[in-house]
Amino acid sequence: MNIPVKILTGCWIIFFLYWIINLLNAKKTAERQNWALLLAYKIPSTLGGVLFFWPDRPNPLGMILFPHTVWVQSLGAGLCVFGLLGAIWSRAILAGNWSPDVTFKVGHELTQRGPYRFVRHPIYTGILLMLLGTAVCAGRLRALIGFSLVAASFWIKLRQEETLMIRHFPNDYPAYKARVKALVPFLF
């Protein structure tokens, strides 16, 4: 295993450990979405995740899109590190308001500080950068399709979250939404 792949692997280990440890700090849930809405984003994200781990056998999904050069793999590792730092910073700022599903917490606050000044969903931005870096390192069509499916699932999920936030913060959230882009600063 080369150094960029070791860095990439380390990033994902740190990410999962941080998320597991911080599950204990979440506030109690006041409102939870129904299972149909949950499946709307869980299915594409699960399929996308499976494609990242699909075996490298000769098939169209295994087509190489990016060469396995040190430069390309270093770029992928760099994207992953940058995404990890952003995701951890965002998760730390969100603190007890965070949930793996679309929920509204008891005492939920509208967070607009830290990375939330630049994008409304910086955890998703960070995870997407990590996945993009992983896809670049893998260099295969299946990884790029997996990335696209997870990105689509995040878009579905953020739309659901925003509906919930507008209902609970009818004055503040629309102004925040008008001022700050969803995933990429100044773009979208």
User: What confidence tens digit (pLDDT) does each residue in 10-26 have?
Assistant: 999 999 999 999 988 88
> Which residues, in sequence order, are CB contacts of 46 under 8 Å at separation 6+?
none
- Asked if the structure places residue 27 within a domain, the reply is yes
- Asked if the structure places residue 188 within a domain, the reply is no
**CB 137, CB 83: distance < 8 Å:** no
What's the domain range around 48? 3-179
pTM over 0.85? The answer is yes
- Asked if the structure places residue 115 within a domain, the reply is yes
Structural domain count, the chain: 1
- Asked if the structure places residue 184 within a domain, the reply is no
Please give the torsion angle defined by the CA atoms of residues 58, 59, 60 and 66, in that order, rounded to the nearest 10 degrees.
-30
- Asked if the structure places residue 167 within a domain, the reply is yes
Tens digits of residue pLDDT in 144-185: 999 999 999 999 999 999 999 999 999 999 999 999 999 999
Phi, psi of 99 (to 5 degrees): -150, 150
Q: How far is CA 16 from the centre of its chain?
A: 12
User: How would you class 188 by CB atoms within 10 Å of its CB: exposed for 0-12, middle for 13-18, buried for 19 or more?
Assistant: exposed
3-state secondary structure labels for all residues of 20-48: HHHHHHCCCEEEECCHHHHHHHHHHHHHH
Please give the torsion angle defined by the CA atoms of residues 175, 179, 180 and 186, in that order, rounded to the nearest 10 degrees.
160
Query: Is the pLDDT score of 109 beyond 80?
Result: yes
- Asked if the structure places residue 187 within a domain, the reply is no
CATH number for 67? 1.20.120.1630
